[in-house]
Amino acid sequence: MTETRPTWHKKLTIDIPAEMDLYEKLKTYQWNASTEIDWSRPIQNFSEESYAAVKGTYSREDYDRLRAQERAFTFTNLFVGEQAALALCAQLTNMVPEMETKFCLAGQIIDEARHIEVFGRYLEKLGADAPANEPLVELIHRLLDTDHYGEKIVGMQIFLEGIAVGLFQRFQEDSPDPLLRDLIKLVLRDESRHAAFGVIYLQDKFRDASVAERRQIEDFVAELWRLFNHATASPFGPVNPFLQETFKDIKHRLNLIGLELRS
Ligand SMILES: [Fe+2]
Ligand SMILES: [Fe+2]
């Protein structure tokens, strides 16, 4: 599979029917961030309950600024991650030979464009700046630079998107901000399809993979794990129990593809 010379088909042929089901879903569940999200609402960076616990230490304005800064760290890096997803799907669209796999990836490209749009609009509204996390950027570059489709898909759809989904679910449950909960609910609708795509495609491709091929991908995931641990050393702090749970999910999905997670 190479990126520069796609396979030309002479008619519509479908090799992986489960991917056509995903493609039907992605057409049905498209959404418009301009009309389905009420952007006129101000961002609520904290709940009254959480402020009550610190009001002896911070004024409301200072606490608001502090929480906005924390959000900016997380969402700047999610914003970068969404751009990485778009770039990787664009590469993969020309690498994979099957038509229905191209359809799923083309759909994911517009999904990721929408995610970049919503997180970009959210950051603009938040009005706080934060740097991109260099080890995370290094991890993303590692994914962009590999020429193995399996490494890209395991790295993006299973590993990075698995972590993003864990973070989104936590924000959906805990965030005091209705605007953020609304946009994350819509983003999660797309992300569940992306995770499903990774599992369906690699289950099919790796069914007859040799031990050496499996080992190559497992070693690659172990390297991503190391880079991610480095990334979370700053500014998110050490890998916490929430991330441990997320890693369990990633391990489960790798097992479905017939891969082991070696840390
Ligand atoms: Fe995304
Ligand atoms: Fe995604």
Provide CB contacts within 8 A for 181, sequence distance 6+.
171, 172, 175
Q: Confirm whether 35 is domain-assigned.
A: no
Examine the pLDDT at 127 and tell me if it is beyond 50. Answer: yes
Q: Confirm whether 66 is domain-assigned.
A: yes
Provide CB contacts within 8 A for 30, sequence distance 6+.
110
Q: Confirm whether 173 is domain-assigned.
A: yes
Q: Confirm whether 2 is domain-assigned.
A: no
Query: From the CA of 194, which ligand is nearest?
Result: 2
Domain tally, the chain: 1
Digit-coded pLDDT (tens) for 92-115: 999 999 999 999 999 999 999 999
- 12 C-alpha to ligand 1 centroid (Å): 28
- 81 C-alpha to ligand 1 centroid (Å): 8
Query: From the CA of 116, which ligand is nearest?
Result: 1
Digit-coded pLDDT (tens) for 215-227: 999 999 888 888 8
pLDDT grade, residue 14 (50/70/90)?
Answer: very high
Q: What is the largest CA-CA distance in the chain?
A: 71
- 257 C-alpha to ligand 1 centroid (Å): 22
Query: What is the model's pLDDT at position 234?
Result: 45
pTM for the predicted model, two decimal places: 0.92
Q: Confirm whether 56 is domain-assigned.
A: yes
Examine the pLDDT at 237 and tell me if it is beyond 60. Answer: no
Digit-coded pLDDT (tens) for 61-73: 999 999 999 999 9
- 232 C-alpha to ligand 2 centroid (Å): 20
Residue 66: which of 44, 45, 89 has the closest Cα?
45
Spatial separation of the C-alpha atoms in residues 104 and 25, rounded to whole Å: 10
- Domain limits at 252? 17-26+48-257
Q: What angle do helix axes 241-257 and 161-174 make, rounded to 10 degrees?
A: 140
- 63 C-alpha to ligand 2 centroid (Å): 32
C-beta separation of 74 from 167 below 8 A: yes
The average confidence (pLDDT) of the chain is: 91
- 194 C-alpha to ligand 2 centroid (Å): 5
CATH number assigned to the domain comprising residue 77:
1.10.620.20
- 75 C-alpha to ligand 1 centroid (Å): 12
Q: Confirm whether 33 is domain-assigned.
A: no
Query: From the CA of 161, which ligand is nearest?
Result: 2
- 53 C-alpha to ligand 2 centroid (Å): 36
Q: Confirm whether 159 is domain-assigned.
A: yes
Provide CB contacts within 8 A for 79, sequence distance 6+.
116, 119, 120, 123
Query: From the CA of 196, which ligand is nearest?
Result: 2
Q: Confirm whether 11 is domain-assigned.
A: no
Query: What is the model's pLDDT at position 225?
Result: 84
- 241 C-alpha to ligand 2 centroid (Å): 23
- 182 C-alpha to ligand 2 centroid (Å): 17
Digit-coded pLDDT (tens) for 179-207: 999 999 999 999 999 999 999 999 999 98
- 191 C-alpha to ligand 2 centroid (Å): 5
